[in-house]
Structure 1
């Protein structure tokens, strides 16, 4: 079972939900994947012991100037404009390259080979309460995170429960994080920004044909406008996490909120049971 915890808007509570679910599922030894590789923070609230770290690379073109005749075919077929052919050399812009390999494959002079370009690292850890944590960290200055997210999702030993803490937004990083999930938990808040981005997130999950359910965080007793969005899109509201200053204080200190916030563990257990019902 792979669960994606996502939202459009940042700061809605994805990592709070992910870390609480990890604790409730501790006996099942869940695998938690922090796919927010630009700002990974799941490890800040889940005590863990790092086991190993490995670099991640993607392929970029390298030009053999002795073979290249500046024909320009490589630049013509690159839809991302990662190559610029001058009269005496070819410039390669690694930050624009999407590692499709077309330039190397179609070069008539075989003057292009693909080489490894470092994009970040993956850290594998043991969660002290049970399970494992896979954390992707994007290299500073590297603009493309989807290849690292894809590698992080493949890292580590799979579990009966695999939970992906997705990056915010509804662009390529979030889509790559969602891809392959059995169910998507959409975390939102009852605010205009939360409602706007919830609509985008529902559309993204639907595009990937992933069933989804809504978790309302910072709930103040009124679902509006989230309830209307849920009805219009036929997406169930699975749970409501009440607005609680004590929860915010405990979580900000990196402590386990389950034993300190009454009812929170029951909410997490209910979410798990509802996911089981909807995926069985």
Structure 2
């Protein structure tokens, strides 16, 4: 089963939920898909090894063959090429590596060369299999790195996916192929507003989901009231707890020091599994 842990905004406790849930399960995998700023390993402290480089193919122009007809530039939807009267300008960071420009070129003047945009790192440990993606500084191909990271998911084991915050393309790339999505939010005006944005996206994608309310005793009851009205299951509530905050500040997953919470995360997983199975039955 693939479960994504997502949020409409940053700072809601999404990574905290992902790490503690993964550590509470047996034979689990954890994937940090927040490739612009992965931080799960701040709490795990694993020695990571490079698994693979993520590359995108960029065009190279043979100017002895090119007649500057402009067909490549007209084809490119990402404005990665600009054809001038006697030159072709290439903007590598805009290129999505589709290879279409080389196909439409009538003179076979375009070849392709790989450019590294990110790296996948991983570690296999007794308690957890962990992978993270790291986007190269200055690159824009976030979704490509996320896709390469998710290619390492073992479908025979439970996979917990820590998605990037927000509702943009990286968020969609992280959640679109999962079985269930847990949206982590907080009872604040910003948390409530961005939760509704995330709910709209998840519903559009047709993914089953539920909500975890972090810092549930701070703010008001607007999130829980909204979930009741929208028939969204509230899977867990995490209070504002001094011990949890202290462990977090020390980079320690709180399930390692507070065993009662490990039991609660196991129950969370069982509830998610039951809801997923019920949802599949209702669709048949």
TM-score range (shorter-chain normalised) is over 0.9
The CA distance in 1 between the partners of 2:74 and 2:253, in whole Å, is 55
Could you say which residue in structure 2 is the equivalent of 1:216? 213
- Which blocks of at least 5 consecutive residues in structure 2 are unaligned? 278-284
Matched, 1:138 2:135: yes
Q: Is contact 1:120–1:138 with CA below 8 Å preserved after alignment?
A: yes
- TM-score by length of structure 2 reads 0.92
- Which blocks of at least 5 consecutive residues in structure 1 are unaligned? none
Q: Is contact 2:187–2:218 with CA below 8 Å preserved after alignment?
A: no
Could you say which residue in structure 2 is the equivalent of 1:254? 251
Q: Is contact 2:24–2:263 with CA below 8 Å preserved after alignment?
A: no
1:44-193 aligned at under 5 Å gives the runs: 44-128=42-126, 130-155=127-152, 157-193=154-190
The CA distance in 2 between the partners of 1:228 and 1:67, in whole Å, is 66
Matched, 1:22 2:19: no
Q: Is contact 1:51–1:126 with CA below 8 Å preserved after alignment?
A: no
Give the root-mean-square deviation of aligned CA atoms: 1.7
- TM-score by length of structure 1 reads 0.93
Higher mean displacement: 183-192 or 47-56:
47-56
Could you say which residue in structure 2 is the equivalent of 1:266? 263
> Residues 143-180 of structure 1: CA distance to partner in whole angstroms, max 9, x if unpaired?
22000000001126444210110011100001000121
Higher mean displacement: 32-41 or 213-222:
213-222
Q: Is contact 1:34–1:40 with CA below 8 Å preserved after alignment?
A: yes
1:203 is displaced (CA, Å) by 1.3
Could you say which residue in structure 1 is the equivalent of 2:4? 4
Q: Is contact 1:183–1:275 with CA below 8 Å preserved after alignment?
A: yes
The CA distance in 2 between the partners of 1:138 and 1:157, in whole Å, is 22
Q: Work out which of the residue numbers 196, 199, 205 in structure 1 matches 2:196.
A: 199
Give 1 or 2: higher helix fraction. 2
The CA distance in 2 between the partners of 1:4 and 1:122, in whole Å, is 18
Q: Is contact 1:32–1:133 with CA below 8 Å preserved after alignment?
A: yes
1:273 is displaced (CA, Å) by 1.1
Q: Secondary structure at the match of 2:192?
A: helix
> Residues 251-277 of structure 1: CA distance to partner in whole angstroms, max 9, x if unpaired?
121113125347422321221111110
Q: Is contact 2:16–2:253 with CA below 8 Å preserved after alignment?
A: no
The CA distance in 2 between the partners of 1:79 and 1:255, in whole Å, is 46
Q: Secondary structure at the match of 1:219?
A: coil
The CA distance in 2 between the partners of 1:243 and 1:161, in whole Å, is 29
